[in-house]
Structure 1
Amino acid sequence: MSRPDHNRTFRLLAGYIYRDPRLLIRSLLLLLLATALDVVGPLLAKIYIDDYLLTGDLRWQLILQLLLIYLLCQLGAGAFRYLQALSFTKMALNAVTDIRKRAFARVMRLPMRYFDHARTGQLVSRITNDTEAIKDLYVQFLSNVLGNAVMLLGILVAMALLDLTLMMIALALVPAVITIIYLYQRLSGPAVAQSRVQRAEINGSLNESIGGMAVIQASNQSERFLRHFGQINDHYYRSRLRTVFASGLLLRPAIDLLSITTTVGILWLFGQQVVAGVAEIGVLYAFLNYMARFTEPLAEITQRFNLYQQAMVAGDRVAKLLDEPEARYGEQQAQLDNGSMTLTGLSFGYLPAKTVLHDIDLKVPDGGFYAIAGHTGSGKSTLLSLLLGFYPAPRGSVLIGGSDIHDLAQSALRHGIGLILQEPFVLADSVRANIDMGRGLSEQQVQSAARKAHLHQAILQLPQGYATTLGEGGLRLSTGQRQQLIIARALAGEPRILLLDEATANIDSETEQVVQQALARLRGEITIIAVAHRLSTIKQADHIVLLSHGRISEQGDHRQLMALEGGTYRAMYELQQQAARIEAIND
């Protein structure tokens, strides 16, 4: 496992530290005040022991004043630390909120090629778990380390005021702790990085398993998926165990050992001073008090390096996502004024060595109804992806409305082209929201689109009509109605071009006829390009293009293609018709 790029993570996080200078200065001032008041306590105790207790000067007014000052210092230190913690938490939440928004925005703008290999669970893990780990970097690590570092500095200054020689002994702890932290990073870094990857794998496996539960159970694959999840979980367990081992070996136990050794050294030197007759009991008490406070910040700092490792790995994963190049579009903002399409010498492959489409030449007039047919894997859906601008074609050109597709802005493409997929994407929201899709359409526009999709009457029969919440995946609608809803959504944007990718593959014959009626009403008004495996849906098309292994093998209208002796389209159509007749007899 490669180590995270700390420079990339630092670049991501540094800007947020200085993003609100007033909040940062306020946090640091509160930290300094809390530390100063905290450090005063042992000095006051030293004064009480040496100047009052040992000398027998027990004037209660002075002692009471000293006690009052001590209590005020402790209360003030607690209040200032509370306010400082709030300031750092606010800084952290602001940073994480913005990073999470940026990460999600980047995912929404990534090219489709990225999603060919990305796993949904891993992306979700980056936007949720990894950004949460970055928050811990601010709250648990940055705040803690800064607070303890300032505390150490304050204690060293107070020690120096008491006894410079004893302070030098305590100071020897610092380089020893730095060495321990360095060794911990070297040992735990790869294990922490591996554990973050394995956590993302767990999320990905869960997402995949739950999403395909029906298929998994129907194919009796539950045990296999359970074993696969168990293997990932075991890998995560072992990675976490390695980090715990490194933490248990190098962090708290090592610091405690060094602390005891240093305390022994201080006691020995103080004993020498007692023999020489120059020691003060109050100084010893203050030093032992400071040593307890001195080792605790060191231990806290080393303990927090476990969070630091996780946060740096998480930050690197988020920064890497933010560095992914966005999909590139042209700058031509003008909306399409016609739906003509011209494809010239178009070739494309998802991999450089494997071409999916070969030299496609096609001219679609404005308002034409063109259909794309062919066996599975012939390149039908790939062709639609190129028409949508999801992938740049390495060879050939695509003209839409007379303009090169590379010159069109994203808004021009998305407003000008409507898409209807085989699997309907339905929000767990109202019917109106599913048709509107945040475009701010009027009620008349929404209902007009529903009427064009022959869905208006069915919507009125729902409990709250257009305000009815459909539930996750649109469960309150039938399969056919969900497809009609997607058609209404596409038509609501009044596109110049409508692309259908196997839009009738999962609906019954009755609903297919409704879809055909909807397309018939749109004929001539907008350009329609329909990819269909069920040829009965497209036999009324103006022109049918048959793809075979990424090449145009036949084209013409239904009558012309049926007239070709030995033609592939004719064989496919007759086979489907025969299957339909057999199905009708069995029913």
Structure 2
Amino acid sequence: MTLPAVLLATFGFGLGSALAALAAVMTSRFFAALPGGTQEPVQYAIAFLLASVAAQLSDFIWQAGLTLMDRILTTLLRINMLRGIYRRPGALPLPVTPGEAITRFRDDVLESCFYIHRFPLSLVDVATAAGIFAYLFTVQPLLAALGAAAIAGVFLAMRKLQENIVLYRDQVMERTEAVTGYLGEILSAVPVLQVAGAVPDALRRFRDLNQDREVVSLKERLQWGLLFALSENGFYVALGLVILAAAPLLARGQFSPAQFALFQMLLQQVGWRMWGVSESVAQLRAVGVYQARMAELAGGDQELVAGARLDFREEIPPEPAPARRPEDALEVLTVAGLTYRHPETGRGIADVSFTLPRGSFTVITGRIGSGKTTLVRTLLGLLPAEAGEVRWNGQVVTDPMAFFTPPRIAYTPQVPRIFSGSLRANILLGLAESDVDMEEAVAAAVLEPDVAQFPCGLETEVGSRGVKLSGGQVQRTAAARMFARQPALLVLDDISSALDSETEAELWRRLFAREGATVLCVSNRRAALERADQILLLDEGRLVAAGPLPELLRTSPAMRELWTAIAPDEKAGIAR
């Protein structure tokens, strides 16, 4: 679709340029034919009107092409940026803050597309200007050369101003990212700032960032003012020089009024076209900067304008339920020598191996910082493993992040993410409700008592990041989302940390009542440890013991120490 849009815009713009030049020629012919007693002046006047109207109508053609180009290119850029982001291991942070990422999605894409769109039009401008000067040299070489030199001088002055604008615009974009990024931070940390009495300090810093951006913005606007002044008046000064040089020729009869009108109109057209060309040339470096910033956000290896299927319908249909194939059913998951170390601290996991049989309940436990969450994230491909392999039913998983998705696995992280919208939408998260047993998912997550108390049931709006829900409700909403996908393996990272003992006990009871459920759980809760078929005890990133609770309490001092440290009142006392 992009090439037809480019051709449409180029054709429309070129047609308009040719018609505008033709109108100028008709004006010259009109003056040349003026004192005659024939119908020629009327014919030339009519031709001038027709060419002018047709030139105006051609604007609709190239504007339609530009609009289509804009929609296609901005959509492609944003789709491919998102592809790059979602190809990254999910637990690695973005290279910029969320506020800066939004700025790049919005402003960098729009600015980059605007100047990319200008490129084919600039080629038309250059071709038109070259054709006009070639024609004017056949009429009066001296005046054509003088006009070309004057316009070239204005063009170079405009280029210098536009280079300054590009420089300041880069600085404005950097300051804008800093402002939006910090604004996002303080809005998400209101309780922390209030309790710490740091609201005035946060506002002072926000003011300083805005003032810094304002200074640079003023410098950019000043350059724009000078540029507009030069563009509005510079070409008229150049045209005035041509008029002064033409005066002696007019007096000697070597230059007719018709030719003078022709020069005046065509040179004015060239001047305005050089404005567009100079702007495009000055912005080439800016486009490179924008694309580098977008590529950084996309991970650096994602092609920004790679082809993609575009669907511009207003309504996006729900995703169908994941297709279930026989090989997706879990028989055994084998992990061998899994290793990952965080680049900043060097901490992580090293040479971890274990096996998960179908229908088993395995708990990963250990002290804070022992690598429990890192192990789960590395297993799922959310962190890039440095060594080791994972096998699903004996087959090596080469791309864990793409492979470990429903219906094979569903994952609830330590800090679940809830989105603004209804409770129902957060559970479905794009799935068609006809493919989901909503009642069963809500019941499995022990969420039905809360739903019954909500004013609108499942249609209750949860607010930004689930602000209207308690911590336990957030965890159980995320659990319901996981159960709705009916995966072969449930992976839970400390899912019951915000639950009271009674709700936690009921959650585990319902989880174990699920026929054939295979569970991998990160937890230090007694309710989970007592029910585990297998406990994986981590210490400083290494697996130091594995087995059922009674065996580990008998053979592992580290397990006995951890068990003693767990508050006795957490014990749920659930019978097997």
Q: Secondary structure at the match of 1:67?
A: helix
Note if contact 1:373-1:380 (Cα within 8 Å) is conserved in structure 2: yes
Partner of 1:540: 531
1:505 correspondence with 2:493: no
Q: 1:90 to 1:79 in 2, by over 3 A?
A: same
1:267 correspondence with 2:243: yes
Give the distance between the partners of 1:420 and 1:172, measured in 2 at CA: 69
1:398 correspondence with 2:390: yes
Partner of 1:9: none
Cα deviation code 1:64-105 (max 9, x no counterpart): 444333222222211112332222222222221222222223
Moved more, 513-522 or 441-450: 441-450
Give the distance between the partners of 2:95 and 2:8, measured in 1 at CA: 45
Give the distance between the partners of 1:502 and 1:457, measured in 2 at CA: 22
Q: 1:272 to 1:300 in 2, by over 3 A?
A: same
Note if contact 2:33-2:41 (Cα within 8 Å) is conserved in structure 1: no
Moved more, 417-426 or 336-345: 336-345
What amino acid does structure 2 have at the position aligned with 1:293?
Q
Partner of 2:414: 422
* 1:381 Cα deviation from its structure 2 partner: 0.3
* 1:504 Cα deviation from its structure 2 partner: 1.5
1:198 correspondence with 2:175: yes
Written as runs of structure 1 = structure 2, the 5 A alignment for 1:114-129 is 114-115=92-93, 117-129=95-107
* 1:501 Cα deviation from its structure 2 partner: 0.8
Partner of 2:475: 483
Give the distance between the partners of 1:255 and 1:434, measured in 2 at CA: 54
Written as runs of structure 1 = structure 2, the 5 A alignment for 1:312-461 is 312-322=288-298, 324-325=300-301, 335-338=327-330, 340-351=332-343, 354-406=346-398, 410-411=402-403, 413-440=405-432, 442=434, 445-456=437-448, 458-459=450-451
Give the distance between the partners of 1:225 and 1:509, measured in 2 at CA: 39
What amino acid does structure 1 have at the position aligned with 2:509?
Q
Q: 1:570 to 1:103 in 2, by over 3 A?
A: same
Give the distance between the partners of 1:405 and 1:224, measured in 2 at CA: 50
Note if contact 1:121-1:200 (Cα within 8 Å) is conserved in structure 2: yes
With normalisation by structure 1, the TM-score equals: 0.81
Moved more, 161-170 or 106-115: 106-115
Give the distance between the partners of 2:344 and 2:85, measured in 1 at CA: 24
Moved more, 23-32 or 162-171: 23-32
Q: Secondary structure at the match of 2:531?
A: coil
Partner of 1:20: 3
Note if contact 1:375-1:548 (Cα within 8 Å) is conserved in structure 2: yes
* 1:183 Cα deviation from its structure 2 partner: 3.9
Give the distance between the partners of 1:308 and 1:408, measured in 2 at CA: 40
1:103 correspondence with 2:103: no
Give the distance between the partners of 1:216 and 1:207, measured in 2 at CA: 13
Note if contact 1:39-1:158 (Cα within 8 Å) is conserved in structure 2: no
Note if contact 2:372-2:522 (Cα within 8 Å) is conserved in structure 1: yes
Partner of 2:31: 49
Give the distance between the partners of 1:37 and 1:277, measured in 2 at CA: 30
Partner of 2:56: 78
What amino acid does structure 2 have at the position aligned with 1:273?
L
Q: Secondary structure at the match of 1:115?
A: coil
What amino acid does structure 2 have at the position aligned with 1:37?
L
1:162 correspondence with 2:153: no
Moved more, 466-475 or 27-36: 466-475
What amino acid does structure 2 have at the position aligned with 1:548?
D
CA-based RMSD:
3.6
* 1:167 Cα deviation from its structure 2 partner: 1.2
Give the distance between the partners of 2:147 and 2:209, measured in 1 at CA: 46
Note if contact 1:247-1:303 (Cα within 8 Å) is conserved in structure 2: no
* 1:462 Cα deviation from its structure 2 partner: 4.9
Q: Secondary structure at the match of 1:390?
A: coil
* 1:385 Cα deviation from its structure 2 partner: 0.6
Q: Say which of 536, 541, 551 aligns to 1:550.
A: 541
Note if contact 1:136-1:307 (Cα within 8 Å) is conserved in structure 2: no
What amino acid does structure 1 have at the position aligned with 2:384?
P
Written as runs of structure 1 = structure 2, the 5 A alignment for 1:300-319 is 300-303=276-279, 310-319=286-295
1:130 correspondence with 2:130: no
Moved more, 39-48 or 374-383: 39-48
Q: Secondary structure at the match of 2:352?
A: strand
* 1:471 Cα deviation from its structure 2 partner: 4.5
Written as runs of structure 1 = structure 2, the 5 A alignment for 1:218-229 is 218-229=195-206
Give the distance between the partners of 1:362 and 1:116, measured in 2 at CA: 31
Give the distance between the partners of 1:325 and 1:138, measured in 2 at CA: 21
Structure 1: unaligned runs, 5 residues or longer: 1-15, 327-332, 582-587
Note if contact 1:349-1:357 (Cα within 8 Å) is conserved in structure 2: yes
* 1:235 Cα deviation from its structure 2 partner: 4.2
Partner of 1:3: none
Note if contact 2:364-2:537 (Cα within 8 Å) is conserved in structure 1: yes
What amino acid does structure 1 have at the position aligned with 2:386?
P
Q: Secondary structure at the match of 1:47?
A: helix
What amino acid does structure 1 have at the position aligned with 2:473?
Q
Q: Secondary structure at the match of 1:415?
A: coil
* 1:131 Cα deviation from its structure 2 partner: 1.7
Q: Say which of 516, 521, 526 aligns to 1:530.
A: 521
Note if contact 1:340-1:402 (Cα within 8 Å) is conserved in structure 2: yes
Q: 1:416 to 1:43 in 2, by over 3 A?
A: closer
Q: Secondary structure at the match of 2:407?
A: helix
* 1:50 Cα deviation from its structure 2 partner: 4.0
Q: Secondary structure at the match of 2:486?
A: coil
Cα deviation code 1:513-544 (max 9, x no counterpart): 2222223324x722222212444443332233
Moved more, 492-501 or 293-302: 293-302
Aligned residues: 550
With normalisation by structure 2, the TM-score equals: 0.82
Q: 1:25 to 1:335 in 2, by over 3 A?
A: same
Partner of 1:492: 484
What amino acid does structure 2 have at the position aligned with 1:453?
A
Give the distance between the partners of 1:428 and 1:261, measured in 2 at CA: 58
* 1:379 Cα deviation from its structure 2 partner: 0.6
Q: 1:441 to 1:266 in 2, by over 3 A?
A: closer
1:216 correspondence with 2:193: yes
Note if contact 1:347-1:360 (Cα within 8 Å) is conserved in structure 2: yes
Partner of 1:295: 271
Q: Say which of 34, 37, 40 aligns to 2:19.
A: 37
Cα deviation code 1:352-406 (max 9, x no counterpart): 8814213323333332222222222111100111221223322333334333332
Q: 1:552 to 1:303 in 2, by over 3 A?
A: closer
Give the distance between the partners of 1:42 and 1:343, measured in 2 at CA: 78
* 1:416 Cα deviation from its structure 2 partner: 1.6
What amino acid does structure 2 have at the position aligned with 1:545?
L
Q: Secondary structure at the match of 1:489?
A: helix
Percent identity between matched residues is 22
* 1:341 Cα deviation from its structure 2 partner: 3.4
Q: 1:32 to 1:453 in 2, by over 3 A?
A: closer
What amino acid does structure 2 have at the position aligned with 1:486?
A
Q: Secondary structure at the match of 1:507?
A: coil
Give the distance between the partners of 1:482 and 1:232, measured in 2 at CA: 35
Give the distance between the partners of 2:75 and 2:479, measured in 1 at CA: 36
